[in-house]
Amino acid sequence: MSNEFLPAAAQPVAPAPLVPRRHFLSSSSGSLASIALSWLLARESSATTPGRVPAGAGSGLHFPAKAKRVVQIFCSGGVSHLETFDHKPELERLDGKSLEGMGENLGFFGQPGMLMKSVYPFAKHGESGSWVSSLLPHLASCADDLCFIHSMVAKSNNHTPATFQMNSGFTLNGFPCMGAWLSYGLGTVNEDLPAFVVLPDPRGQPAGGSINWTSGFLPANHQGVAFRTDGVDPIADLRTPAGLSPADRVADLRLLETMNSDFARLHPGDTDFAARLRSYELAARMQVSIPEATSFDDEPAAVRELYGIDDPTNKGFSRNCLMARRLLERGVRFVQLFNGGSFGSPRINWDGHENMQENHDTQAATMDRPVAALIKDLKDRGMLDDTLVVWSTEFGRSPVTQGIGATGRDHHPKAFTCFLAGAGVKGGHHHGATDDVGYGVVEDEVTIPDFHATILHLLGIDHEKLTYYHNGVNRRLTDVHGRLIRGILS
């Protein structure tokens, strides 16, 4: 009866562990006593197997999940594929020559220049013999774990729309980000922490700030929770107000609980009221669990050293990488790390318009070692088997310089490289290829919807079935696109 007037598509269509989120805290329990009990049980399962999905949690998925959790590193500004992972010997020969006949200049500033060889030498690494430039020695040492996609294409040559596309599948404001879709689709493993945590670069937020981790039209509880990583409280309102003793706060909460329990008892069928009671329990637990998860006090010196926690050249990014590992370990479903802030001068992201070497040297010094450390650390802990690492950027950079005689490169959406690592993907693998100068894709083009569809697949989700009705459309992360990149699956 209750469904008769809803469009068919507005019925829950997400994978089964989901209950309409409005009731998520009270889905299985009628009485207050059982809430407390289920809470204790949940606590047991997460306490005994930290960072692991309780058995059976994947039972409602479309496919068996290879990945249980995701960490995405997003490098703001547009990392040059030609200076990092896409080795183009032919470009050395053509250095200084015209692009004519190979394609039009797609740059943002429209100042054509001449072809420019990579400013860094490349070498083969690992058993796979993967080409990586000298810019990224630490990531090069992980080459056998990385699955490169050299044939990425983006829709826009403009930072923010392209960033939105990588995050949400759409080039516009207001579409739910991948982390929000996963929170909606998979729920949370550890209710003491948010399902989707964002760690902005310590140097500054990306352009658009919180628009980048919005839940869009999905319920607000799926939006990314941005943790501050500068030493103050990670999230707003986490701390009990100064001047209120813990004992007094407990007494206050007890008074409130009595009020709310009385009210819930008067309205037995309305589960919201029971859910509210539970939300305070969880809030109180978050006051403990978030500081615990974000403190490095118990990290051994070797781990701190691995990430370079005390190395100032990474500008605090290593802290975010280590924090990401701690959050993943504790059951956060999706952690998104931004490497690079917004656009301006001096540059604090990968937007090397003026001088590739100067720019990429500076940015790589923040990113290379910490991200490599994160991959190694996950591997050491056996977590790489069921954690998917996604390394991404919004687009590549043009094989020609930005202006004659210049040393920078403009934006280039027609070809760029991203890599995946960990759960369910081949290591030391290279998918797709660009032409001789890295201008366009000549083999196995991968669009961002394809990329997203594949990530969802690894998590056990059919991207065509994870939908949410909004203003006339059953929206998907992949819109009406998306093909699985089968070649990279292990």
Is 421:392 a contact under the CB 8 Å cutoff? no
Q: What's the min distance (Å) between Cβ of 220 and other proteins?
A: 4
Angle at which helix 271-294 crosses helix 317-329, to 10 degrees, equals 130
Cβ atoms within 10 Å, residue 128:
17
In angstroms, give the least distance from the CB of 4 to other proteins.
7
Spatial contact of 265 and 171, defined as CB atoms under 8 Å apart: no
Near other proteins in 185-204, by CB under 8 A: 191, 194, 204
Shortest Å, Cβ 407 to other proteins: 6
Q: Which stretch binds other proteins (CB under 8 A): 30-38, 39-47, 206-214, 330-338?
A: 206-214
Task: Return all residues near 218 (Cβ < 8 A) that are at least 6 apart.
Answer: 176, 180, 181, 184, 468
* Residue choice 69, 159, 429, 431 for contact with other proteins (CB under 8 A): 159
Backbone angles phi, psi at 409, to 5 degrees: -125, 145
Binding flag, residue 258, other proteins (CB under 8 A): yes
Token match 């999230």: residue? 235
Q: Does 288 bind other proteins (CB under 8 A)?
A: no
Minimum distance of other proteins from residue 209's CB (angstroms) = 3
What is the closest distance, in whole angstroms, from the C-beta atom of residue 290 to other proteins in the complex?
A: 10
Structure-block tokens of residue 63: 């496919």
Size of the site for other proteins (CB under 8 A): 102
- Select the residue interacting with other proteins from 287, 292, 357, 379 (CB under 8 A): 287
User: Which of 16, 93, 231, 263 touches other proteins by CB under 8 A?
Assistant: 263
235 binds other proteins (CB under 8 A): yes
With respect to other proteins, which residue has the nearer C-beta, 282 or 303?
A: 282
Contacts of the segment 40-43: beta carbons below 8 A, 24+ positions apart: 42/191
- In angstroms, rounded to a whole number, what is the distance separating the alpha carbons of residues 53 and 51? 7
Question: Pick from 341, 370, 422, 432: which binds other proteins (CB under 8 A)?
Answer: 341
Residue 246's contacts (CB-CB under 8 Å, 6 or more residues apart) are 240
Q: How far is the CB of 108 from other proteins (least distance, A)?
A: 5
> Is residue 2 near other proteins by the rule CB under 8 A?
yes
Span near other proteins by CB under 8 A; candidates 135-143, 304-312, 343-351, 425-433? 343-351
Whose Cβ is closer to other proteins: residue 141's or residue 260's?
260
Q: Which of 98, 267, 296, 313 binds other proteins (CB under 8 A)?
A: 267
* Of the candidates 430, 486, 428, the residue with the CA atom closest to the CA atom of residue 458: 486
Q: At what angle do helices 356-380 and 317-329 cross, to 10 degrees?
A: 30
**Which residue from 371, 463, 416 is spatially nearest to 13, judged by alpha carbons?**
463
Nearest alpha-carbon partner for 334 in 180, 489, 150: 180
Q: Which of residues 86-105 bind other proteins (CB under 8 A)?
A: 105
Among 273, 307, 338, 350, binds other proteins (CB under 8 A): 273
Residue number, 95 or 272, with CB nearest to other proteins = 272
Is 250 near other proteins (CB under 8 A)? no
- The dihedral formed by the CA atoms of 320, 322, 327 and 330, expressed in degrees to the nearest 10: -170
Q: What's the min distance (Å) between Cβ of 235 and other proteins?
A: 7
Stretch that binds other proteins, among 28-36, 60-68, 144-152, 230-238 (CB under 8 A): 230-238
Query: Among the candidate windows 27-35, 165-173, 312-320, 423-431, which touches other proteins by CB under 8 A?
Result: 165-173
Which of 56, 269, 300, 312 forms a contact with other proteins (CB under 8 A)?
A: 269
Residues 396-415 that bind other proteins (CB under 8 A): 401-408
Residue whose pair of structure tokens reads 């429209």 in the numeric block: 110
Q: Does the protein bind other proteins through residue 312 (CB under 8 A)? A: no
Which region among 79-87, 117-125, 178-186, 250-258 touches other proteins (by CB under 8 A)?
250-258
The residue range among 5-13, 45-53, 144-152, 320-328 that interacts with other proteins, by the rule CB under 8 A, is 5-13
Question: CA angle at residue 49 from 182 to 336, to 5 degrees?
Answer: 30
Q: How far is the CB of 157 from other proteins (least distance, A)?
A: 5
**In the stretch 440-479, what mask flags binding to other proteins with x, by CB under 8 A?**
-----------------------------x-xxxx-----
Asked whether position 230 contacts other proteins by CB under 8 A, the answer is no
